[in-house]
Amino acid sequence: MLLRRVLSRFQGLSGWPVKSLPMLSVKNELLQVLATVLEGLQAGAGAKAAFESPKVAAHGDLATTAAMQLAKPLKQPPRQVAENLRAALLAQPTYQRWVDAVEIAGPGFINIRLKPEAKQQIVREVLSQAQDFGKQPDNGQRMMVEFVSANPTGPLHVGHGRQGALGDAICNLYQTQGWDVYREFYYNDAGVQISTLANSVQLRAKGFKPGDAEWPEQAYNGDYIGEIAADFLAKKTVKSDDREFTASGDVDALDDIRLFAVAYLRHEQDLDLKAFAVRFDNYYLESSLYLSGKVDDAVKKLHDAGKTYEQDGALWLKSTDYGDDKDRVMRKGDGSYTYFVPDVAYHISKWERGFHKAVNIQGTDHHGTIARVRAGLQAAGVGIAEGFPDYVLHTMVRVVRGGEEVKISKRAGSYVTLRDLIEWTSKDAVRFFLLSRKPDTEYTFDVDLAVAKNNDNPVYYVQYAHARICSVLAAWQEKDGGQPDTLKDVDLSPLQSPQAQALMLLLARYPEMLSAAAADFAPHDVTFYLRELAACYHSYYDAERILVDDEAVKRARLALVAATAQVLDNGLAVLGVSAPQKM
């Protein structure tokens, strides 16, 4: 009776809406049918339809735990629910077309084995969609990602590099999911650090250097300070993405020195970012928050909302009202604001500019500011959603070269610069390596590994897989005059081997992997996937010759490897890493 009722309801619910996947695929068709059948078992269950990958590949290609989830509300043993679900699925034309077997395991797991032709469809989809494979349509939503945000007091260090790679990859991930992404660089162009920079350059311009009795302990010691001083004395003009300044050469004009030094270092940072292929839509100055009155306006909003109080000569925010462990000082006794106050004003500005989703990429040393910034935004009463903004915090990076840790750069004086790392290895290696671990985990960058041309080097391993496929396609074109565009419509039925089917299943996982990586701010998932895909391709290449005499077999295999190259290219593009055709 129950099975007949399920099948009856199925006939009337063929259009039951489920969350669509990034592509119109066989898996999506199967998921829609599963959703409709589940809805027949229990109202509302269809919306929870989902597939997962079996933990053991030999158990099948897709799996669902729906029977165990429905056992309690249906008051039936999980195995019985699974039997009813299995019978209902096998009765449907879509499952008869694409599914080889539906099997029940354990207490009620359902494993689904796809027919080879079902797996083969992914090759056609990848080749037809090309660079768009895995991408969602525009969703009409905007978001801002703030990253790097280095103060212009010195060259970018390796930590800034990790932040740049993370921020850019997260932007790319969200763009694949249909978001309109805006990249912003925020920096402090005033304050104590900038004053220290100006004083350091002035001393070098006057002929003093580190080690002299006149040299302050807190001054910046790197060689770059001497370079700035020399160019200031030479009355040079420096131009960056957001400013331009010509030096006066007057060693007593401290304000001129400050403006020149900031412009000089902004230019240097621009060069670093261009070498790293990172771009920004806007540079936002902390000073503008004060000049425009946004800081005072934010403080007024908090005061008018009754969320501040005076104590011990200071102005406090009632941040404990919003889950902070203690109230925070906003304005100190000397009248200056603590550093989180302009942060609150800045994020109100983000919200007012229409960015109702914002992500900040910052070092783990910023962890303590999260609660107070969010508290300030909630207390301001301007309609900002709770939990705004999102944060991705990263640890610093150790650099090892020749088996020993490298702690300083001659030019920077106290740390390894991003440009050092790029010059020692490559932009591609730096990006891939810095993205290959979760942001909040410690990471050691091995320079020697990054330049090694072997399978232990992950970026080389992935890029070599792409180049290897390109060489096969080039050989086919040279020998047979083959054209890659003709592979979109070839007969794929020869792709029957276990290695070919494993490769196709992995290609089909790409869109879901992108969606999950974006949702979790996890570009490292893309690196893991690409390494797995490269390994799967290498295994396939070792198992089957591609350029065989049989024309039908050859063209089917060429289509499969061309699809693999396309997905490798797409994934590397998300990371900002090139996909070379030759190595």
Q: Which residue has the tokens 């771009």?
A: 279
pTM of the model: 0.89
Burial label for 205, CB within 10 Å (0-12, 13-18, 19+), is buried
The CATH number of 2-114 is 3.30.1360.70
* Spatial CA neighbour of 142 closest among 170, 168, 178, 173: 178
| Cα(393)–Cα(452) distance, integer angstroms | 30
* Phi, psi for residue 337 in degrees, rounded to 5: -90, 145
Long-range interactions of 199-206: CB distance < 8 A, separation 24+: 199/254, 200/225, 201/225, 201/228, 201/229, 201/232, 201/257, 201/260, 201/261, 202/229, 202/251, 202/254, 202/257, 204/228, 204/229, 205/229, 205/232, 205/233, 205/251, 205/257, 206/251
Characterize 3-19 residue by residue with b for buried, 16 or more Cβ atoms within 10 angstroms of its Cβ, and e for exposed: beebbebbeeeeebebe
Say which residues have a Cβ less than 8 Å from residue 376's Cβ, sequence separation at least 6. Answer: 298, 302, 317, 319, 340, 341, 343, 344
DSSP 8-state symbol, 75: T
Q: Transcribe 84-135 into DSSP letters.
A: HHHHHHHTSHHHHHHEEEEEEETTTEEEEEE-HHHHHHHHHHHHHHGGGTTP
In CATH, what is the architecture of 455-575? Orthogonal Bundle (1.10)
Characterize 403-437 residue by residue with b for buried, 16 or more Cβ atoms within 10 angstroms of its Cβ, and e for exposed: eeebeebebbbebbbbbbbbebbbbbbbbbbbbbb
507, 122 contact by CB (below 8 A) = yes
* Spatial CA neighbour of 523 closest among 170, 179, 171, 168: 170
Say which residues have a Cβ less than 8 Å from residue 252's Cβ, sequence separation at least 6. Answer: none
Full pLDDT tens readout for the chain, 583 residues = 433 333 333 333 333 333 333 334 788 899 999 999 999 989 999 998 999 988 887 888 999 999 999 999 999 999 999 999 999 999 999 999 999 999 999 999 999 999 999 999 999 999 999 999 999 999 999 999 999 999 999 999 999 999 999 999 999 999 999 999 999 999 888 778 999 999 999 999 999 999 999 999 999 998 999 999 999 999 999 998 888 999 999 999 999 999 999 999 999 999 999 999 999 999 999 999 999 999 999 999 999 999 999 999 999 999 999 999 999 999 999 999 998 999 999 999 999 999 999 999 999 998 989 999 999 999 999 999 999 999 999 999 999 999 999 987 766 777 899 999 999 999 999 999 999 999 999 999 999 999 999 999 999 999 999 999 999 999 999 998 988 889 999 999 999 999 999 999 999 999 999 999 999 999 999 999 999 999 999 999 999 999 999 999 999 999 999 999 999 999 999 999 999 999 9
CATH 1.10.730.10 placement within the chain: 455-575
CATH 3.30.1360.70 placement within the chain: 2-114
